[in-house]
Amino acid sequence: MYGRKVKLRFIFILLIFLVLTLSVFLVLKSLEENVIYFKSPSDVKTVPELDSKKIRIGGMVKKDSIEISNNSVNFIITDFKNEINVIYSGAVPNLFSEGKGVVAEGFLKDRNFFQASKILAKHDENYMPPEVKEALKEK
């Protein structure tokens, strides 16, 4: 139906596309460590050795774990399998609260303690008016 040249061009484009997709896939796969924005507490528990590099740890703020003292905020990040204690001094974002997502940036002191230098609140994908939230709670 189509000329030979059309077919050749089609195959050529397809080949370029496949080669590029494969190379991008391989690059992303090998750099996965850097593509991931934060690690989970479980990832931290399983690393063979601790290094002094700055990392980010993300998860949920454990319920009833926030302790605010004079100039520091302590809380626990959990992924419902493992937990890590976070020590932080400074201002927290407005959306930072118990039972909500959080990403802490800083240094690991040991496998259980994390000294954060920056706290980011992670918003989840749920959007609803306050009345609906109330109604959901009552259920």
Partner 1 sequence: MFKLLEPNKIFLITSRAPKFVIALFIVVLSIGLLEALILSPEDYKQSHSVRIMYVHVPAAWISLGIFSSITLLSISGYIFKNKHFFLISKSLAPSGLVFCIVALVTGSIWGKPTWGTWWAWDARITSMLILAIFYLLYLIAWRIYRNKEQVIKITTLITIFGIINIPIIKYSVDWWNTLHQPASINIMSKSTIHSSMLLPLILMSAAFALFSLLIFLMKYNTELIKLKNKGLERL
Interface with partner 1 (CB under 8 A), residue total 42
- Of these, 26, 35, 47, 68, which contacts partner 1 (CB under 8 A)? 35
Residue 27 Cβ vs partner 1, minimum distance, rounded to whole Å: 11
Cα–Cα distance for residue pair 39/57, rounded to 1 Å? 5
- Of these, 32, 49, 110, 138, which contacts partner 1 (CB under 8 A)? 32
45 binds partner 1 (CB under 8 A): no
DSSP assignment, residue 107? Answer: E
Contact characters 2-21, partner 1, x per CB under 8 A: x---x--xx--x--xx--xx
Cβ–Cβ under 8 Å, residues 91 and 103: no
The one segment of 46-54, 61-69, 89-97, 109-117 that binds partner 1 by CB under 8 A: 89-97
28 phi and psi angles, rounded to 5 deg: -65, -40
The first and second tokens of residue 20, run together, are 């590029």
131 binds partner 1 (CB under 8 A): yes
DSSP 26-87: HHHHHTHHHH-S-B-HHHHHH-SS---S-EEEEEEEPTT--EE-SS-EEEEEE-SS-EEEEE
- Of these, 55, 58, 75, 116, which contacts partner 1 (CB under 8 A)? 58
Contact characters 67-86, partner 1, x per CB under 8 A: --------------------
**Three-state DSSP class for residue 111:** coil
Residue 34 Cβ vs partner 1, minimum distance, rounded to whole Å: 9
